[in-house]
Amino acid sequence: MNENEMVTAGGGKPVYTTIKNILRVLMVLCIIFVFCPSFLVSCSGEEMKVNVMTAVGGLESAGQTVVDPHPLMLICLLIPIAALVFLFIKKFNNKMTSIIILAGTAVDLIVWFIFRSTAKKIAEENYCDFETTPWFVINIIVLVLSILLTGLVVLGVAQLETDLLALLTGSGAKNVLNQVSGAVTQAAGSVAENISNLSKGGQSQKGIVVGYCAKCGGPIGLDSKFCIACGTPVPESLLAEAEAKKKEIEEAKRQEEERLAAEAAKRQEEAAAAAAAAQQAAGQSQGKSKFCQQCGAELGAGVAFCQSCGAKVQ
């Protein structure tokens, strides 16, 4: 089952407004913006258009090198290309792919702001006029949108195959607001619930939420193959993630049982050792007991005369 089969319109046509497809478009735009002039620098009547590739190759003015080449700026090109590749391969699940893209896009955004700050500083040091172009502003907006979309997937509010248009209209918008507001609480509650289930022998795995339906936004349980709210099939990527989660829970449960069994065995060994020591001490105490040779009464420790007949202890 591919993503277009999972998310379709009422007439059976594939939906192209999924989060994954929108992210693909945004990454392509980020690649294009690398070659667009982000800043305009005017020096002595000469206007220079500065983009990322300008910084990579360096900048000259009046035959003098104003800015040395910075090949590291290629990161602004490599990050969206890498993100685009991740959006086309199916090796990773939705959450892992989103985390990678979110981290890369955040780094890209930081680099762009550093680029602007550095370019402006150099222009001012050389008594040049500096101006930010609309290309830079649009690029920043695209990066922020990418971070927001991948953040929704990381928080479990949506999946990469979710139709964003349907999610933000009608009841979908309400679901988004409710899920975003409670995302952190749900995550903490899920961890606490998993720990509780492990301590109780894993009695309530069905209550664990592994994701949300791409069509209606309803929660998807650990063992669910279809959405219980609308009947939409669960994507294979989410099924694989649920299966991995089940194995993780079972392994944690097994380790917990082994730990409890080891602790119980250790307590039994300690109790047996304590009992043996007490028995040995009692035997030694009995072996040291003395009796009066005159009347046969048991003598106390350290007595010189028998307390029963008064005979001297030999």
**Per-residue pLDDT for the chain (314 aa), expressed as one digit of tens each?**
344 434 444 444 456 778 888 999 999 999 999 999 988 888 777 788 888 888 888 766 556 666 677 888 889 999 999 999 988 887 778 888 889 999 999 999 999 999 888 888 888 887 888 899 999 999 999 999 999 999 888 888 888 888 877 777 755 554 554 554 455 445 445 544 554 554 444 444 555 676 777 777 677 776 777 777 777 787 877 777 777 877 888 888 888 888 888 888 888 888 877 777 766 665 555 555 677 777 777 777 777 788 778 887 77
Interior angle at CA 70, CA 67 and CA 75, nearest 5: 140
Largest Cα–Cα distance in the chain?
Answer: 131
- Crossing angle of helices 183-199 and 236-287, in 10° steps, is 40
Unique residue bearing structure tokens 């990050």: 79
pLDDT for 9 equals 46
Q: CB–CB of 198/192 below 8 Å? A: no
Identify any residues that bridge with 132 across adjacent strands, giving them in sequence order: 39
* Phi, psi dihedral angles at 195 (to 5 degrees): -65, -40
Are the CB atoms for 146 and 101 separated by under 8 Å? yes
Rounded Cα distance between 83 and 169, Å, is 27
pTM of this prediction exceeds 0.95: no
What pLDDT was estimated at residue 193?
A: 54
Q: With contact defined as beta carbons under 8 Å apart, do 7 and 163 qualify?
A: yes
- Neighbouring C-beta atoms of residue 237, cutoff 10 Å: 22
pLDDT of residue 265: 86
Q: Residue 30: name the closest of 102, 83, 97 by CA.
A: 83
Residue pair 141/1 in contact (Cβ under 8 Å)? The answer is: no
